[in-house]
Structure 1
Amino acid sequence: MKELNEQAERREADAGALLEIDPASVRTEYELLHLMRRLIKRYDFAHFLIARLPLADEQRFSERLVLSNWPAELVRQYDAGETFQASVLVERLRQTKLPVAGGAELLEPALKGAGKAPVRHLQPHPDMARHFAVLLHTTYGEPFVAVLSGRRDEPKGVERATLYLTLVQLFECLERTFDAGTAVREKLSSREIECLRWAAAGKSSDEIAIILGISAYTVGSYFKSATRKLDAVNRMQAIARAMRMKLI
């Protein structure tokens, strides 16, 4: 019992330190990923995700993800199943402002037969037996869901409240990266974005030149300017940053 109490006190103390972070100091998704990994480690969770709350059935699960360390194979299965938008978790989050916690049933379809491949028929992940989720909103009201998954028991009392507040603060940091992405989008020209988009699709500079009807030299100049604007060191990093910022 003493060990459990000490563990709970440690979690609360660590989360309290996170609450003192200045959101303005977190400028990139990489920094936020580091904070999320620290959070789940200190609270004994194994996985996390932050995703846009489903608003339309046609959007794939992977397209809603903003930050996540879910196993890639599991994400692919959810894409194929198309059940996340109809899950018990999403339905419960729409009906409350309080955190939602539970077991694997949260990710099953709320209605029998929803989706093409019900989540309960998928191979369960051993480190995702239980979930803790909160509904979050941007300054402009866009809904997001943050989910922490692992084997540990449901957070309760002060720990539950502190964890919720920590997620709210970290989400505020994430929203600032959205603003940064908007600013970069305004700086990038439409041609620069097109070149990055085609490069992300696996096209070479020569192929992009043919597609856009411009010279390969011009394509190269667009890549150089886009790389500079994205504060990247090379083309591949520029593409990766543009994808993380949802620019392409």
Structure 2
Amino acid sequence: MKESNEPALRRDANAEMVFEIDPASVRTEYELLRLMRRLIALYGFSHFMIARLPLAEQQRFSERLVLSNWPSELVRQYDAGEIFQTSALVEQLRQTKLPVTGGAELLEAARRAADRVPARRIEPPPDMARHFAVLLHTTYGEPFVVMLSGKRDEPIGTERAMLYFTLVQLLECLERTFDTGNVAREKLSGREIECLRWAAAGKSSDEIAIILGLSTYTVSSYFKSATRKLDAVNRMQAIARAMRMKLI
């Protein structure tokens, strides 16, 4: 039985797991995050990561990261070592359209890159011992790395095919959240976005008024209208939604 606006889980005659998704019902990254958490729980993984494929040598991992539940310390290690763009994971995905699987070596710099630059030691948690990764493209051809990590064995056969198809659907959901963000950006005025951006940086209404050369009353009005347009209940939720939509 399906729950409202939730993916239904069932088993077919071959006892293979199926994760049903209605892409049209997913409009925010928060909803996609919930789907990803349910997916990894169903398939026995513990972590997931969705990131834009690095297109240049000097790109911070955190800047390419779109959605994940990776430990913050692991993300910091990747940034400090500038490892993502030279990793074995990215190198292998560039050379195949098939899923890439492996252990800790996928998170390390590829051998030829490690020969050029002293490798930093990456220490993922014990429950990220094995990885299943695919390279997927949006409708407009933008490449994304999607990786699931855990302690389970490599998916094979029908399970592998179903998992791949499900990740394709989830990327379509992610692309829809980009469209939602673009619509919200068109609705929000430049001043509303500026106010939200300064508030996210920790500035008070009085401070924002001084920075923008406005009255405190006018700043308050911008916050109220932005909160309404983002369908939020208060200023903090409006800021959080604007950040998830990459508006600020």
- TM-score, length basis structure 2: 0.89
Query: C-alpha displacement at 1:122, in angstroms?
Result: 2.6
Alignment of 1:26-175 (within 5 A): 26-110=26-110, 111-113=113-115, 118-119=119-120, 121-175=121-175
Residues 107, 122 of structure 2: 8 Å contact kept: no
Query: How far does residue 14 in structure 1 lie from its aligned partner after superposition?
Result: 6.8
**Take 1:245 and 1:79, find their aligned partners in 2: how far apart are those partners?**
23
CA deviation after TM superposition for structure 1 residue 76, in Å:
1.6
Other structure's SS at 2:127 match: coil
Q: Once the two structures are aligned, what percentage of the paired residues are identical?
A: 78
Q: What corresponds to 1:215 in structure 2?
A: 215
The structure-2 alpha-carbon separation of the partners of 1:148 and 1:112, relative to structure 1 and needing over 3 Å to count, comes to same
Q: Residue 132 of structure 1: SS of its match in structure 2?
A: strand
Distance 1:113 1:213 in 2: 54
Q: What's the offset of the Cα at 1:33?
A: 1.3
Q: 1:184 to 1:218 in 2, by over 3 A?
A: same
Q: Distance in 2 between matches of 1:96 and 1:65?
A: 21
| Amino acid aligned to 1:170 | L
The DSSP-based 3-state class of the residue aligned with 2:219 is: helix
Contact 1:86 1:114 in 2 (8 A): no
Q: What SS does the corresponding residue of 1:152 show, helix, strand or coil? A: coil
Q: Across the two proteins, how many residue pairs are aligned to each other?
A: 235
Contact 1:15 1:166 in 2 (8 A): no
How much has 1:217 moved relative to structure 2?
Answer: 1.2
List runs of 5+ in structure 1 lacking aligned partners. 1-8
Query: Contact 2:26 / 2:32 at 8 angstroms: preserved in 1?
Result: yes
Q: Aligned-residue CA RMSD in angstroms?
A: 1.8
* Deviations, residues 39-92 of structure 1 (Å, cap 9, x unaligned): 111111000011111113443211212111111121122121211111010111
The amino acid across from 2:48 in the alignment is F
What is the match of residue 5 of structure 1? none
Instruction: Report the Cα distance in structure 2 between the residues aligned to 1:184 and 1:14, rounded to whole angstroms.
Output: 39
Which segments of 5 or more consecutive residues in structure 2 lack a partner in the other structure?
1-10
Shift of the 145–231 alpha-carbon distance from structure 1 to 2, 3 Å rule, reads: same
- What residue is the counterpart of 2:4 in the other structure? none
- The residue that corresponds to 2:8 in the other structure is none
